[in-house]
Amino acid sequence: MGRIFGTFGVRGIANEKITPEFALKMGMAFGTLLKREQPDKELWVVVGRDTRVSGEMLKNALISGLLSVGINVIDVGIAPTPAIQFACKYFKVDGGAVITASHNPPEYNGIKLLEPNGLGLKKEREAIVEELFFKEDFYRARWDEIGQLVERDIIRPYIDAIKAKVDVEAIRKRKPFVVVDTSNGAGSLVLPYLLRELGCKVVSVNAHPDGHFPARNPEPNEENLQGFMKIVKALGADFGIAQDGDADRSVFIDENGNFVQGDKTFALVVKAMLEENKGGLVVTTVATSHIIDELAKIYGGKVLKTKVGDLIVSRAL
């Protein structure tokens, strides 16, 4: 029996590796896991996707698999991966699924399964899903126990939740000029609107949803953002923000059009959090710059380093 899941979910070429049949079986396997764990509970799962052209096809197939097992589904449509993770807690569901291939090219797609708290599915539960998937050992609901499907918005609650975490008045007073490039991805539905509500002057680039990603490769690295970097400088913006296809990754461009390495932006966040909390524990990976260790010493914090992987870091928190 092979392995399906990587560090966070499964990815591959849409309609070759990640087919409707694959998504259907994944939904049935995930649903069967939930049914076996809590056979007497009315179970709900949140499902959403990014803007990829294969997303609707795969989302509907996965939802069909869940419904056939008797799992109820909340379809939040196109939304950033972090918004779908937020939706798991917001709707108080039993799990979640995201149809996305994150920063990969448009021909790719994938599936991420989520815990009720929005984190990626634990490895031991992934192993059970894989076994059910390969053995096709699925639970099948009776005709009158098939799950129900409802559609709900998560964009508005997600924006409101972000605004509740920041100093809105301070941002409105400063009125930053920000240029955003959402790579025609799911962030197009959140980032420009969030910044405007915060009082920023916003110029949007590649901010209409288009799963072909016509403007650039969705991975927001320095090579792919050369044109955007020039735009930020030419417009005289305070800074620029670029995202990947599912908006779980953001990078920054400074006022001079320079690409800001992730270690620097992370260091600014760490400094602010340590100052605010008068110390604390910073969890990061072994690949992170030593500047984090230096900041922890200065501001009375401690650093715990893990293997590389956002799920590993999240669970260590």
In this structure, what DSSP letter does residue 203 have?
A: E
- For 208-262, write each residue's pLDDT tens digit: 999 999 999 999 999 999 999 999 999 999 999 999 999 999 999 999 999 999 8
Instruction: Let me know whether 137 and 50 are in one domain.
Output: yes
Return the higher-pLDDT residue of 263 and 100.
Answer: 100
For residue 28, being part of any structural domain is answered with: yes
Query: What pLDDT is attached to residue 296?
Result: 85
CATH code of the domain covering residue 306: 3.40.120.10
Query: What pLDDT is attached to residue 75?
Result: 98
Instruction: Let me know whether 203 and 292 are in one domain.
Output: no
For residue 2, being part of any structural domain is answered with: no
Instruction: Let me know whether 56 and 144 are in one domain.
Output: yes
Instruction: Let me know whether 64 and 139 are in one domain.
Output: yes
Query: What pLDDT is attached to residue 73?
Result: 98
- For 187-201, write each residue's pLDDT tens digit: 999 999 999 999 999
The CA R_g of the chain, rounded to the nearest whole Å, is 21
For residue 1, being part of any structural domain is answered with: no
Query: What pLDDT is attached to residue 2?
Result: 52
* Mean pLDDT to the nearest integer, 74-81: 98
Instruction: Let me know whether 171 and 136 are in one domain.
Output: no
User: How far apart, in whole angstroms, are the C-alpha atoms of residue 47 and residue 103?
Assistant: 19
Q: How far is CA 206 from CA 104, 179, 211, in A?
A: 17, 11, 11
For residue 112, being part of any structural domain is answered with: yes
* Mean pLDDT to the nearest integer, 293-312: 82
* Mean pLDDT to the nearest integer, 161-183: 97
Over 80: is that where the pLDDT of 49 sits?
yes
User: How far apart, in whole angstroms, are the C-alpha atoms of residue 264 and residue 266?
Assistant: 5
> Would you tell me the crossing angle of helices 20-37 and 123-135 to the nearest 10 degrees?
120
CA atoms within 13 A on the CB side of 24: 10
The total number of structural domains that make up the chain: 3
Instruction: Let me know whether 15 and 98 are in one domain.
Output: yes
Residue written as tokens 């030419």? 234
Looking at every residue in the chain, the average pLDDT score rounds to 94
Instruction: Let me know whether 97 and 172 are in one domain.
Output: no
For residue 274, being part of any structural domain is answered with: yes
From the list 10, 15, 29, 30, the residue with the least C-alpha distance to 99 is 10
Among candidate residues 132, 153, 174, the one where a domain is terminated: 153
For residue 159, being part of any structural domain is answered with: no
Query: What pLDDT is attached to residue 28?
Result: 98
| Token reading at 178 | 């920000």
Instruction: Let me know whether 268 and 144 are in one domain.
Output: no
For residue 158, being part of any structural domain is answered with: no
Among candidate residues 88, 122, 153, the one where a domain is terminated: 153
User: How far apart, in whole angstroms, are the C-alpha atoms of residue 316 and residue 182?
Assistant: 30
% of the chain with per-residue pLDDT over 70: 97
Q: Is 303 exposed, middle or buried (CB count within 10 Å of its CB: 0-12, 13-18, 19+)?
A: middle
Enclosing domain of residue 78: 10-153
Cα torsion for 181, 183, 186, 189, to the nearest 10°? 40
Instruction: Measure the N-to-C terminal CA separation of the chain; round to a whole number of Å.
Output: 32
Instruction: Let me know whether 139 and 179 are in one domain.
Output: no
Over 90: is that where the pLDDT of 290 sits?
no
Instruction: Let me know whether 77 and 89 are in one domain.
Output: yes
- The b-or-e profile of 62-90 (16+ CB within 10 A means b, else e) is bbbbbbbbbbbbbbbbbbbbbbbbbbbeb
* Mean pLDDT to the nearest integer, 50-72: 98
Cα torsion for 149, 145, 113, 241, to the nearest 10°? 10
Query: What pLDDT is attached to residue 303?
Result: 87
Instruction: Let me know whether 148 and 48 are in one domain.
Output: yes
Over 50: is that where the pLDDT of 203 sits?
yes
Instruction: Let me know whether 57 and 179 are in one domain.
Output: no
Which residues, in sequence order, are bridge partners of residue 44?
72
User: How far apart, in whole angstroms, are the C-alpha atoms of residue 46 and residue 112?
Assistant: 12
Quick one: pLDDT band at residue 95, thresholds 50, 70, 90? very high
Among candidate residues 229, 260, 291, the one where a domain is terminated: 260
The model's pTM: 0.93
In this structure, what DSSP letter does residue 165 have?
A: T
User: How far apart, in whole angstroms, are the C-alpha atoms of residue 224 and residue 238?
Assistant: 21
- For 114-128, write each residue's pLDDT tens digit: 999 999 999 999 999
Residues whose CB is less than 8 angstroms from the CB of residue 198 and which lie 6 or more positions away in sequence, other chains included = 163, 166, 168, 171, 172
Query: What pLDDT is attached to residue 1?
Result: 43
State the catalytic residues: 102
For residue 295, being part of any structural domain is answered with: yes
